[in-house]
């Protein structure tokens, strides 16, 4: 069995066909261990580190960073027995497979690759260099030189005298300027000092020459701005690949397959912000980051319990609506490689602290670019927090296979009627997009209203809803 094993790019999940090599974590000659990360690859799902399948020494890297490789193609060769001495030389069988070049004379002279006159080899055009050394013919009268033949003298024919052609008189030509303006040296120096381009001036002097007055007038005129260019020098081309490519395909497929409807609700979340401050002060939440997104996530999970049809999928293949009894809650995250929507598995079963921990882990892993493909598959309902960018709300597009997504906008101090008086309250706007094949206006409105009711008074909702 061969010591050298070629490690191919594996299928990293859900039938992916290719991946881009982001960086190598090893180099040729490195000793590696079993399951040691050796390369970072970006697929259409995420950037992942691939571990070594064998221990040994890296003998060859087939593709440099930045190369897109198909699944199943070799990416690295590993010597699995580096202590076994020198690598074996090629066998006689392998050498027998090598094609031997034909001997000289076996190819017809003048054919490509064959011998040609003068010891040359025929190439595609003309002949190649000589393969034999040149020999000089001996001079006449020297030993070994051939005797000159005696030729009887005969009158040499007289060649007719050449007839001289009639002289051609050139037509008069204007003085050549070689593309330069006519100007005396002092005028040229003045133009250089004043930063004036002589070729842009129509001269008023003799034969159209440029005078000092012409240069001074040009210098006094305001210079016209350079015309803007609209070419590739002012363009940037970004290859569409990896996460961004898959996201674009999914968004197009979702936008043109599921009829989207979006509804909005503006909510006073002053009590939600107070509840967040209280949770931060509690001992059991002391080491966990608490944010308003936690309260929005909890509101969505509780509202799903009242309206389970929102957490469903339209199956065109089977002609069914599949209602999920579990909520894999997706959280849209913007990364350097594009938008991803990892999800918290079975989020409805988590306690408030467990939900907070899961949210923090999800966001941190997404920012690092290490979200595994499994965390981005199987989502059932999603939230996109556009408020972190200072945006009030939006009309989000559904992730494929989901029937609803909630946009959570920025929380702003806003004049608000509270208890019959205008006061400054903390206010946000929610936007719910849903698949109108599954969720009609009434169901979508009830679901959005319940999310808003929870955020208006989360402490009362937690006591009465659970």
Question: What pLDDT is recorded for position 113?
Answer: 41
pLDDT band of residue 148 (cuts 50, 70, 90) is very low
Tell how far CA 378 is from the center of its chain. Answer: 25
Enter the tokens of residue 244.
């961004």
Backbone angles phi, psi at 191, to 5 degrees: -65, -40
Enter the tokens of residue 392.
């009030």
Q: Is the pLDDT of residue 149 over 50?
A: no
Residues 6+ apart with CB under 8 A from 194: 215, 216, 218, 219
Q: Is the pLDDT of residue 396 over 70?
A: yes
Query: Between 450 and 11, where is the model more confident?
Result: 450
Domains and CATH numbers, the chain: 4-82 (2.40.50.100), 185-218 (4.10.320.10), 259-465 (3.30.559.10)
Q: Is the pLDDT of residue 180 over 80?
A: no
pLDDT digit string, tens, across residues 217-264: 888 887 666 678 788 887 788 787 777 777 777 778 777 777 889 999
Residues 6+ apart with CB under 8 A from 66: 20, 21
| Residue 436 appears among annotated catalytic residues | yes
* Neighbouring C-alpha atoms within 13 Å toward the C-beta of 171: 2
Q: Which residues pair with 437 in a beta bridge?
A: none
Q: Are 448 and 432 in contact (CB under 8 A)?
A: yes
Q: Which one of the listed residues 63, 260, 307, 436 is annotated catalytic?
A: 436
Name the DSSP letter for residue 119: G
Query: Between 346 and 139, where is the model more confident?
Result: 346
Q: Are 20 and 68 in contact (CB under 8 A)?
A: yes
Helix, strand, coil percentages in the chain from 3-state DSSP, rounded to 5: 30, 25, 45
Mean pLDDT value across the chain: 80
Enter the tokens of residue 124.
């595609």
pLDDT digit string, tens, across residues 341-376: 999 999 999 999 999 999 999 999 988 888 888 888
Query: Between 356 and 286, where is the model more confident?
Result: 356
Q: Which residues pair with 78 in a beta bridge?
A: 5, 58
Query: Between 458 and 92, where is the model more confident?
Result: 458
């Amino acid at each position: 069995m061969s010591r050298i094993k070629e490690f191919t790019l594996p299928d990293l999940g859900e039938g992916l066909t290719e991946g881009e090599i982001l960086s190598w974590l090893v180099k040729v000659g490195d000793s590696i261990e079993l399951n040691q990360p050796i390369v970072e690859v970006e697929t259409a799902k995420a950037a992942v580190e691939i571990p070594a399948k064998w221990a040994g020494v890296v003998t060859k890297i087939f593709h440099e960073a930045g190369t897109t490789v198909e699944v199943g193609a070799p990416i690295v060769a590993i010597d699995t027995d580096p202590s076994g001495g020198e690598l074996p030389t090629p066998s006689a069988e392998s050498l027998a497979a090598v094609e031997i070049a034909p001997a000289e004379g076996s190819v017809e002279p003048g054919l490509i690759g064959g011998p040609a006159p003068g010891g040359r080899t025929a190439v595609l055009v003309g002949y190649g260099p000589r393969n034999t050394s040149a020999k000089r013919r001996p001079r006449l009268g020297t030993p070994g030189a051939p005797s000159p033949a005696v030729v009887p003298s005969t009158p040499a024919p007289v060649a007719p005298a050449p007839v001289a052609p009639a002289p051609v008189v050139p037509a008069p030509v204007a003085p050549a300027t070689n593309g330069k303006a006519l100007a005396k040296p002092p005028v040229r120096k003045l133009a250089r000092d004043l930063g004036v381009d002589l070729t842009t001036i129509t001269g008023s002097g003799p034969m159209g020459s440029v005078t000092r007055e012409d240069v001074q007038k040009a210098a006094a005129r305001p210079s016209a701005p350079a015309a803007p260019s609209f070419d590739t020098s002012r363009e940037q081309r970004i290859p569409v690949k990896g996460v961004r490519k898959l996201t674009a395909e999914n968004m197009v497929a979702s936008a043109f397959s599921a009829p989207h409807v979006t509804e909005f609700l503006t909510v006073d979340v002053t009590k939600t912000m107070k509840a967040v401050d209280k949770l931060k002060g509690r001992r059991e939440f002391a080491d966990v980051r608490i944010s308003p997104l936690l309260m929005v996530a909890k509101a969505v999970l509780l509202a799903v319990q009242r309206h389970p049809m929102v957490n469903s999928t339209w199956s065109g293949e089977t002609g069914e609506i599949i209602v999920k009894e579990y909520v894999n809650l997706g959280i849209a995250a913007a990364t350097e490689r594009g938008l991803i929507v990892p999800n918290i598995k079975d989020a409805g079963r988590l306690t408030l602290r467990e939900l907070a921990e899961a949210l923090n882990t999800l966001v941190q892993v997404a920012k690092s670019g290490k979200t595994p493909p499994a965390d981005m598959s199987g989502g059932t309902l999603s939230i996109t927090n556009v408020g972190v960018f200072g945006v009030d709300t939006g009309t989000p597009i559904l992730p494929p296979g989901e029937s609803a997504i909630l946009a959570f906008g920025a929380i702003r101090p806003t004049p608000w009627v509270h208890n019959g008086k205008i006061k400054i309250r903390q206010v946000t706007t929610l936007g719910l997009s849903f698949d109108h094949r599954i969720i009609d206006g009434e169901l979508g409105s009830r679901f959005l209203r319940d999310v808003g009711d929870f955020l208006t008074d989360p402490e009362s909702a937690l006591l009465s809803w659970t």
